[in-house]
Each structure stands twice: as C-alpha cells, then as structure tokens.
Structure 1
Amino acid sequence: MEPTRTPSAGKGWKAHLDRLPVLGRLVRLLRARHREIGRQMEVLRRSLVSLAESPMTVTGEILERARRDITTLTDAAEYRGLYRGEEMLYWLHLPGWIGEWAAQNSPRRILDIGSGYGTLSAFASMLTGAQVFCLDSEPQRISEALRAKHRLTVARGNIEQVPIPWTGPMDAVILTEVIEHFNFHPVATMQKIAAHMGRDARLFLSTPDAASWGRVPDGYRSYRDMPPPDPDAATIDLHIYQYTETELRQVLNDSGFVVLRLERAPGRWGFHLNVEAQTAP
C-alpha cells in the first residue's frame, strides 16, 4: 500500500529549495561581517598596545612634553577640553614612524601643513632639532610662546590655493587630518607638496578611513569628480571627501609618492588611515 501524499508536501519542499540561495547569501554576508569585525578588533588591539607602550618610549615621552607645552602655553579651551584627549587617536602611529625615520636621518627642514595647535610641529622640533615650518588657514592657534620655545616658523594659507611660502626642499611633510578637507582634486595639491620635498623625503599623513566612516553625505561620488584648484574660489572647511585605502594609495601614487607603510588608528567615530610615504626616486 503506497503512502498517502499530501499536496502541500511538494510545495513545502520547493519553497525550501527556493530559500537556499537566499540563505547562502546570508551566510556569506555573516562570514564577511565576522571577518571585518575580527579585523577591526585586531586594529583596536594593536592601537591599545601602542597607546600603552607610548609613554615608555623616547618618542612617546617627547610627544607628551610637546602636549604639555601646548596645554601650558596655549590659551585654547578647545584644545584642553576636547582635542588634547583625542588627537592621538587620529594619528597614533605617526610619532613612532617619525622617530624611526629621524633616527636614521638628519632632517633639517620639516613642513607641517594644517598644523592646528602645533602638537606634531613641537614634537618634530624637539625630536629632531630641525627647523619646522607650519602652514595653516588659522595660524593663530599656535601661540607666540609656543613658536618661540620650539622655533616654529608659522604662516597663514590654504595649501590648495597658495604657493608654499618657503623655498628649498623639505626633508619631511606632516599632513594630518587635512586631505579630507580638500575642496579640489587632490592630485594637483599633492604634486605641489611633492615638488617642495627633497629626494627620498617622507610624507606622514592621516585621514579618516571611508570604509569605517562612510562617505560624506551629498558629497562627490569619486574624488575624480572634484574640480581643479582655483585660487579665487570660495572654500568651506568641512570634510569634503573621505578616502578608502585604495583611493588614497592611488592619489599618492599619481602624485609622485610611494607608500611605505599604512596602518589604521582607532579614531573617535571611526578608523583613520595612517600613512608613511616617500617621494618617488
């Protein structure tokens, strides 16, 4: 006697088969998400180790002295109240890289573009003894007392719209949390920076990681869509374009740089790309 088959059995099995591709995509998505969470946890682990070890290194001790000088010599509630507590999260790896590079070289001229309150400017001066030049659209953030103590030469200017005001090649350029503010196509400005650097000079850069931060709302779909620099155009000081690692590497390559190291710093709202690059030979 044959078993009785219900009409719904075949339909249920077919519905189950129809769901398999969807379930497969979901499994792949979960696996990819799991790998991404693992990668993020590893970034945070390395960052915590770096933060813990920083005070025990020579570069970490010098950096802390520079930060204390700014706190003491700068009348800026914003720095003491907010920025001092989070600035290292943006460019965590750069002081150590600068220290390693300086130990093997004898830098004489360093340019800090977008120098802000002068943390890395003062640090570079103390660490290397080099002459440090600071270019910023709000140079008043670096106090006269800090300039005098660390021999900082400061000028006002938007790097996208004005010539670099000092002649002669720079041994290193520091560019932290700046490129995302560019209003124009980045390659032209980065080429201008490279042209003012000596052979085998170093670029130390940090910027938000678009893979973590996401894109700027209502912003450009690609940095390639950004207009060429215009010295007479009005600009806005906001995040205009946030780069993925691939995009940032492409911009630097097209500008005449070779990326030597790239790591991620934890940031405040998302990861930041930290880069050490060299002018192409």
Structure 2
Amino acid sequence: PQPGNPGPRLFRLVEDGAIINRMGFNGCGVDRFCRRLARLHRPMPNGRMRGPTVPLGVNIGINKTGSDPLRDYPDLVARVRPYADYITMNLSSPNTPGLRDLQSATMLKELLDAINTRNPERPPLLVKLAPDLDDSSYEPILEAAIEGGAQGLILTNTTIARPATLRDPAARESGGLSGRPLAPRSRDVLRIVSGLNKGRLALISCGGIETGEDILARIRMGADMVQIYSSFVLQGPGILARMKTELLDAMRRDGFETIADAHGVDRPD
C-alpha cells in the first residue's frame, strides 16, 4: 500500500477536454486488492467458479520506493493472474520516478523473461507505453515485446508535454495530461507502431477518444481495441451508448458491415 502523491493531484481541464493527474499509484496494495477481486468469483452448484460477466483487466505497477522491478512485476502477475482476463504492465506513468526508464527494449525483455519464468501460465499480458518516446524508440520496444512473449501494447499513456493550445489555468500543473490534446500524438504513435507490427501483437489505442468517429479512425489505423479515460470522466457513462451509435453510423457511411472489415484499412504499408 502507498498513499500516492499529495493533493491536489487531479485537475479537470474542461474547456480543453483534458485531465492532468499525478496520483502516484495511490492504493490499498495487492493483498487487499486480490481479496476484493476474489469476491467477484463465486462457486456454482457444479463446483466450478463463476467470475465477472465482462472481461476484467488488471493494471500493475511498481511502488514509488523500495521497488525491485525484476522481482515485483513477476510477483504481481502471480498474485493477480487467477482473477484477470488480461494484465497490463504499466511502464509509462510519469508520476512514479524511474518507471519510464523500464521501457527500454533491453529492460523490457528482461522483465518479460522474469515474468514468464515465474508465471509459465498466465493471462494475456499487455505493455502500456508512453507517448513521449522518440519515434525511433518504438520499433525495438515492439520487437522486445514480441520476443518476450507479450500479447499486446496499449498506445498510449498520458503525456508530460503541454501543447500551446491549452487554455485552462491548471494547464501548467505537473503530471500526466490526457484527453483531447493527447489525440494527435496518440494517433501518430498508433500509426508508427501499427505499420511496424503487421498484426503480430494486439494494439489497444488510448488517448483523446471522444466519439464513435474517433473509434473508427483508430480501428482503420490498425487498433484492435480502444480505451477511454478522460472523455468518460468528463462526460459520464452515457458516453458509451452515444459512442456506439456514432460508431455504427460512421461504419455505415464508410461501407463497413463489421469492425473486422474496417480493421487496418488505413494502416501504413
């Protein structure tokens, strides 16, 4: 368990359609977390366990102090694997000192090897990357993820950049910026990685997705799935129904019957 960074540590930039957070992985720790996850799994009359009715992903990261990544990530995977449909290795939060250094291809391969040694059987593992890397950095990271047996990448986490277009007074607060201002860079990273990936890993696009049109654009660029965060926080859960309707409208307009028909049609060769 750790308290995270002192508050205030989350800022809604409503006019910019953005959020800045520097939470610092505040949480109750993996022991209590797993006890809560276990309550989602109930025994059935036939003796088997019934879990959640929707896929459940678990996001793991190291502590701010006292951490040993080559020990902690394998242990965290071992702890959460009975309850997770997929596991995300967060190597890209800007709010834990030294965390982003783990994104190097060499270090990522060592981490994945350690995870696989400790966990010969596990759910799919995805690696969450930052948008602030040099464009040339993504290819060796992608190859290391593939060689290390990861199943996918999440593109991208929050950014430490501050676009000049931001208008909210809180725009200069430190932390990770998410939402609409992140969208151009998130699309750029997806375009780069999708062109290199050639379908070898699952790609989840995240960053500035607000409409069904945004979802279709990411699918067309090669994303297999999308995630939303800031738009969900700022607009509430009703956004899901609206985005699905907008997505269907955009698919019909562009002549796609299914998501699979649209997947990768705009991916760079």
Calculate the TM-score normalised by the size of structure 1. Answer: 0.32
Could you say which structure has the larger radius of gyration?
A: 1
Structure (1/2) with the larger helix percentage: 1
Calculate the TM-score normalised by the size of structure 2. Answer: 0.33
